[in-house]
Amino acid sequence: MARYWVIAVGAGILSALLYLSVALGQPSAILLAYLAQLPLFAVTLGMGGLAGATATGSASVVIALLHSAIAGGFFLIVSGLPVVVLGGKALLNRQDAEGKTEWYPIGLLVSWMVGIGAGAFLVASVALVVLTDGIEPSIRWFVGQGIARLLAATAEADRARILDLVVAWIPAAVVMSWLGMVAVNAALAQGLLMYFGRNLRPKPELADIELPHLLTLVLGVAGAAALLGPDGIGFVGRNLFLILLVPFFFLGLGVVHAVARKYSPQRIFILVAAYAAMIVLGWPAALVAGLGLFDQWLGLRRRLAAAAGPAE
C-alpha cells in the first residue's frame, strides 16, 4: 500500500518539476513544461482516480511551495483538474448484455475535453464583460502591451495590423493549444502504459469514435453568433466556433483511421502520411475537420464501408 502512495506522490512531484522547468529559461524547457500532465495521466490511467487526484494535489502543493500559491492554484485548475475529470471518465465501464466490458466512449471523452475548454472561455468572457470594458478590449490591451515590447522597432501602423489579426483569434488559439496539450499527454500516457502492460483501460479505437449530435447544434449556434451577433457576441461566437471544431477534427481523424483499417496492408503508410502532412503543412488539419463534419452529417464512414465492400 505504501508503494501506491509513493508512486502517486512521486508522479506529482515529477509533474511539478516539469511544469517549473520553464524557470530555467531554456527554449527546450518549454517542451518539458508541455509534458507536465503526462505523469498525472499515467498515474490516473494506470492506477485509478484516487492515485491521479493524489498526484494532482501533490503537484499543486509542490508548485505552490517552490514558486507561489497563485502558480499552484493556476496549475491545479488548468492542468490538474482536467486530468482528474477526464481520467476518471476514461476509467468508467459497464457490462453489456453479453457480459462484455463497455468502456466510456472516446467520443464523449473528446466532448468533455472540449466542453471544459469552451466552458472556461465562456466563463472568462462573462467575467471580463462584468469586471472590465469587455472581452475584446481587454484582450486587445493585454496583447497590445506584449506586441509593443516585442516589436518596438516596428512601425506603429504595422503593429496595429498585427494586433488586429492576433486579437481576433487569440482566445481560440489559446484554448485549442491547451486542448492539443491535454490530448497529446493523455495519448502518450496511455501508449506508455500499454507498452509496459500497466493500462487499466484497453486502447480506444479512434476509428470508432462517435460524437453527440448536440455538438452539431452548438456549433451551428456559435456560427450564427459569429455571423449575426454584434461586436462582442460576434467575437465570442467566432472563437467559440473554432474551439467547437476540435471534436470534429478528432472525428475526421476517425475517418482517416477507418480508411487505414479498411486497407490494412497500407495502414501504416496511410496514417504516417496523414499525420506528417498535418504536422508539416498544417492546413490539412482543416480538411480533416471538414471530413469530421461530413461524417457527422452524412455518416461518411458508413458510406465508405458500404461502397468499398469487404476489407482487402
Helix (H), strand (E), coil (C) string for 267-312: HHHHHHHHHHHHHHHCCHHHHHHHHHHHHHHHCHHHHHHHHHCCCC
Q: What is the average pLDDT across 95-100?
A: 82
199 within some domain: no
51 within some domain: yes
203 within some domain: no
Q: Is 78 left (phi over 0), alpha (psi -120 to 50) or beta?
A: alpha
Which residues partner with 95 through β-bridges?
A: 101
In this prediction, residue 311 carries a pLDDT of: 44
The interaxial angle of helices 246-262 and 231-244, nearest 10 deg, is 20
C-alpha grid cell for residue 84?
Answer: 482528474
Judge whether residue 306 has pLDDT over 70: no
In this prediction, residue 25 carries a pLDDT of: 65
In this prediction, residue 24 carries a pLDDT of: 64
How confident is the model over 33-78, as pLDDT tens digits? Answer: 999 999 999 999 999 999 999 999 999 999 999 999 999 999 999 9
278 within some domain: no
In this prediction, residue 312 carries a pLDDT of: 42
Q: Is 133 left (phi over 0), alpha (psi -120 to 50) or beta?
A: alpha
Judge whether residue 31 has pLDDT over 80: yes
157 within some domain: no
Residue percentage of the chain with pLDDT more than 90: 57
Q: What is the average pLDDT across 208-232?
A: 91
In this prediction, residue 139 carries a pLDDT of: 87
233 within some domain: no
Q: What is the average pLDDT across 140-159?
A: 79
Q: Count of domains in the chain?
A: 1
15 within some domain: yes
166 within some domain: no
C-alpha grid cell for residue 171?
Answer: 482566445
Of the pLDDT bands very low, low, confident and very high (cuts 50, 70, 90), residue 134 is confident
C-alpha grid cell for residue 31?
Answer: 517542451
User: How far out from the chain centre does Cα 25 lie?
Assistant: 25
In this prediction, residue 12 carries a pLDDT of: 96
Which residues partner with 102 through β-bridges?
A: 94
The range of the structural domain enclosing residue 13 comes to 1-91
- CA distances, 51 to each of 76, 77, 109, 110, 218 (Å): 15, 18, 20, 22, 35
How confident is the model over 244-265, as pLDDT tens digits? Answer: 999 999 999 999 988 888 777 7
Helix segments in the chain, DSSP class H: 2-20, 29-34, 37-47, 49-66, 69-75, 81-90, 106-131, 135-150, 156-195, 214-228, 231-244, 246-262, 267-281, 284-298, 300-308
Q: What is the average pLDDT across 274-292?
A: 90
Lowest mean pLDDT among 6-10, 139-143, 197-201, 215-219: 139-143
Cβ proximity of 235 and 128 under 8 Å:
no
